[in-house]
Amino acid sequence: MATTKVEPKIAAAPEAPVEKYHGLTPQHLVEIYRLMYLSRKIDDREIMLKRQQKIFFQISGAGHEALMVAAGVLLRPSHDWFYPYYRDRGLCLALGNTPLEMLLQAVGAADDIASGGRQMPSHWSHPKLNIVTGSSPTGTQFLQAVGCAEAGRYFQKHPGAAAKVDGDYRQFKDVTFEGDEVVYVSCGDGTTSQGEFWESLSTASNLKLPMLFVVEDNEYAISVPVEVNTPGGNISQVVRGFPNFHFAEVDGTDVLASYAALKTSIEYVRAGRGPAFVHGHVIRPYSHSLSDDEKLYRPEAERKLEVERDPITRFRKFLLSEGIVDEAALHEMELDLTDEVQDAADTAVAAPFAKPGTYLQYLYSPNLDPTSAAFETDPIRPPLPGKPGGGEKTMADLINACLKDEMKRDQRIVIFGEDVADCSRDEYLREKQVKGKGGVFKLTSGLQAAFGSDRVFNSPLAEANIVGRATGMATRGLKPVVEIQFFDYIWPAMHQLRNELPTIRWRSNNGFSCPVVIRVAIGGYLTGGAIYHSQCGESLFTHTPGMRVVFPSNALDANGLLRTAIRCDDPVMFLEHKRLYRETFGRAPYPGPDYMIPFGKAKTVRLGHDLTVVTYGALVPRALQAAQRMEREHNVSVELIDLRTLNPYDWEAIANSVCKTHRVLVAHEDTLSWGYGAEIAARIADELFDNLDAPVKRVAAKDTFVAYQPQVEDEILPQANDVFNAMLELAGY
Ligand SMILES: Cc1ncc(C[n+]2csc(CCOP(=O)(O)OP(=O)(O)O)c2C)c(N)n1
Ligand SMILES: [Mg+2]
């Protein structure tokens, strides 16, 4: 429990636990009141600062203090893990967050421990206390909390995996774990409507994870009342069927009732019996935020009833009526707390903001640069003579080989996704009744059999579940290398992929990081793949700061780039073209267990001097075919650049080539408009205009979906012939 600054005169025997107070001492009770009052005072001070335009947003924890402080004094900072939401000021204060830290965030100061001035107030983050950076989207915290709990369990089982190892991301990740740790995660009543909330309950239940779910039910989600969000208006009744849980429903404005319910729940979780779910009925006396006026949708009578349940006035009355403390002492404590908050606010308001030009800091790891020479190694066997980059292994083989090598080398790697395991019922494997699946494209084949079912396993059929859990695991130091079965089905994970994974390092000012690798089977040319098995869409992710995007075109590059992705310290989306998995083009011999290619280094597939083609993925073999025909039929020499990584990309290679050939074509499989090529073409026009002898051309898919009928599919997707025609036009300009 945090120490009190003020020492009020407490009734006799302040240290003696009292049974009717659930074992709390009078001193504890006064300390709880202190934290509750402090929480409310900070909210009040922030509201004042907002009115003075010294802060720019305010959202309060008012009405939630009893439940939150009770949770905070029962849980253990720097031991348990915390995924709170914006109403959890009381919890964070009880864990050790100071008023000054909170107010520094409110003003957006450089010294704001949570985000360095990047996030709104009440977006808690405190690496030392294990309070994990939270975002604004409602509900995205749940699956990350699941992953966090899984990571703690994993490290208990594989303590050796926690060791720091030089040469990769592990040297920058301190791993801590405790045998009886609890992962706390909370939300409001409205947020229980989010799908990810339900996904997290399913996984916590299935895996009996040591998690404490707290739903703070103030009966409103901004203006939407609880019965609109929750069937029957009571979340406790709805979740009751989840196996393995301990459930508690409590008046969250009553300190002792909250304390008792949370205590029993936390004991259940700590004992390893499974997760607990605490539903606290609280109030929201200050509207949703300072931007909301609840008078517009709540009548006065309803608001008056709430006032009567205010946890602070109720608990104050209780302390006095029980004779635990007298009025004068309480009053003195309150005045002191008011002064403390005022002092903190004055300090915060005078604090400097982040220096101009620092906004790019911590988008990526400041420690490990995947474009550096440290990620450049030679293959143990050069490509076979007579075959350009050629050899006997397919891209599928060499991705599988890389995963195997890396899992052997790094115990922190876990692999999961849909169908990636050999067989979830692993006794079938052990008894050799079945051979095992290992992915719908067999890329993870044999990994579960080789490394065990706690390192390679199937996820539920839920993409947000895969990415959200991976993010939570990586925050704790694991290296999840997860699979999205088809790019076409990545969208349920979009919230995690856009608002969470790539933002965590930046928004926490380098307080947390989550270097996950997401392997995604992508692309068309499947003859019958149709709309939902042919999609590209890489530019959606290159348009997301904080995410590395890789798109190899051949077996050797896939192997070397995947190894870099795994060993690096950033989130990586690794796009694997399904059509290239087993193509004859670009096969290569196994390059050994340490082969790496740095990010941001293009490969010149073919030297030329008349025009340049900038491309990647499945357009590489098509452009190569077109280039050979140009040479043969028109004596035009084409330089072909395979970008290999799309973020970062090799601008130098593009610029050097364009300055040599003065004509350039950007080709990709994804749709033309607003595509990846638009950016490259715009930059060439902008920076290399004086070197151009012709307009920048683009070849890409038509701006539509991919049709099932193969002839129509061919018409939609860019073919070698389309590239050839564009080359011809460019050469003749
Ligand atoms: C995904 C998402 N949708 C909408 C919002 C806007 N929003 C912020 S808070 C909120 C209401 C949340 O209500 P509840 O979960 O009951 O929490 P409370 O604020 O009442 O504590 C909404 C709609 C958001 N932040 N995230
Ligand atoms: Mg609510």
* Pocket of ligand 1 contains residue 188 by CB under 6 Å: yes
> Does the active-site annotation cover 79?
no
Give the model's pLDDT for residue 6: 47
Band (9; pLDDT cuts 50, 70, 90): low
Q: How far is the CA of 253 from the centre of ligand 1 (A)?
A: 21
- Check whether 389 has a pLDDT greater than 70: no
Q: Whose CA is nearest to atom 19 of ligand 1?
A: 221
Selection from 81, 129, 90 nearest residue 253 by Cα: 90
Q: Tell me which of 138, 218, 494 to substitute to probe ligand 1's pocket, judged by most ligand atoms within 8 Å of the beta carbon.
A: 138
Cβ(85) to ligand 1 under 6 A? no
pLDDT for 15 equals 83
User: Which atom of ligand 1 lies closest to the CA of 85?
Assistant: 21
Cα–Cα distance, 196 to 202 (Å, whole number):
10
What pLDDT was estimated at residue 390? Answer: 54
| Residue 697, strand partner residues | 665
Distances (CA, A) of 8 to 27, 29, 311, 326, 342: 9, 12, 20, 9, 20
Tokens read off for 646: 């799309």
Q: From ligand 2's centre to the CA of 189, what distance in Å?
A: 5
- Bridge-based pairing state of the strands 603-606 and 572-577: unpaired
Q: Which atom of ligand 1 lies at the shortest distance from residue 217's CA?
A: 16
Residues 65-122: tens digit of each pLDDT: 999 999 999 999 999 999 999 999 999 999 999 999 999 999 999 999 999 999 999 9
The SS3 call for residue 61 is coil
Which atom number of ligand 1 is nearest to the Cα of residue 226? 16
Q: Among the atoms of ligand 1, which is closest to the Cα of residue 137?
A: 26
Neighbours of 165 (CB within 10 A): 14
Q: Is the pLDDT of residue 229 over 70?
A: yes
Ligand 1 in contact with 136 (CB < 6 A)? yes
Gap from CA of 187 to ligand 1 centroid (Å): 9
- Going by C-beta distance under 8 Å and a sequence separation of 6 or more, which residues neighbour residue 52? none
186 lines ligand 1 (CB under 6 A): no
Q: How far apart are CA 518 and CA 572, in angstroms?
A: 6
| CA distance to 85, 141, 465, 520, 573, per residue, from 191 (Å) | 10, 11, 17, 29, 28
Residue tagged active-site, from 533, 609, 662, 668:
533
Quick check: 451 and 128 in contact, CB under 8 A?
no
Residue 387, pLDDT above cutoff 70: no
Closest CA to 508 of 6, 124, 56: 124
Which of 191, 192, 229 gets mutated to test ligand 1 (max ligand atoms within 8 A of its CB)? 191
Q: Is the CB of 230 under 6 A from ligand 1?
A: no
Give distance in angstroms: CA of 278 to centre of ligand 1.
Answer: 19
Q: Is the pLDDT of residue 1 over 50?
A: no
3-state secondary structure of 111: coil
Ligand 1 within 6 A of CB of 187: yes
Shortest-distance Cα residue to atom 24 of ligand 1: 137
**Quick one: which H or E segment has residue 417?**
strand 413-417
4 confidence band (pLDDT: 50, 70, 90): very low
pLDDT higher than 70, residue 480: yes
| Span 281-303, pLDDT tens digits | 999 999 999 889 999 999 999 99
Report CA(96)–ligand 2 centroid distance (Å). 25
Is the CB–ligand 1 distance for residue 138 below 6 Å? yes
What is the CA(213)–ligand 1 centre distance, in A? 17
Residue 229 CA: nearest ligand 1 atom is: 16
CA–CA distances in Å: residue 117 to residues 41, 113, 136, 354: 22, 9, 15, 7
Q: Say if residue 383's pLDDT is above 90.
A: no
DSSP code at position 317: H
Tell me the angle at which helices 327-349 and 99-107 cross, rounded to the nearest 10 degrees.
40
Query: What is the average pLDDT score of the chain?
Result: 96
Residue range 537-556: mean pLDDT, rounded: 97
Cα of 138 vs centre of ligand 1, distance in Å, is: 5
CA-nearest residue for atom 7, ligand 1, is 138
Q: How far is CA 458 from CA 63, 155, 242, in A?
A: 42, 19, 20
Ligand having the closest approach to the CA of 57:
1
Cβ of 682 less than 6 Å from ligand 1: no
CB distance 379 to 592 below 8 Å:
yes
Residue 10's pLDDT band, with cuts at 50, 70 and 90, is: low
What is residue 2's predicted lDDT score, i.e. its pLDDT? Answer: 44
CB atoms within 10 A of CB 579: 20
Averaged over 197-215, what is the pLDDT?
Answer: 98
Q: Which ligand 1 atom is the nearest neighbour of the CA of 222?
A: 11
Beta bridge partners of 521: 576
CA of 484 relative to ligand 1 center, distance in Å: 28
Q: Say what percent of the chain tops pLDDT 90.
A: 95
Rounded Cα distance between 399 and 576, Å, is 9
Contacts of 616 (CB under 8 A, 6+ apart): 551, 553, 642, 643, 644, 646, 668
pTM over 0.75: yes
Q: Which ligand is nearest to the CA of 281?
A: 2
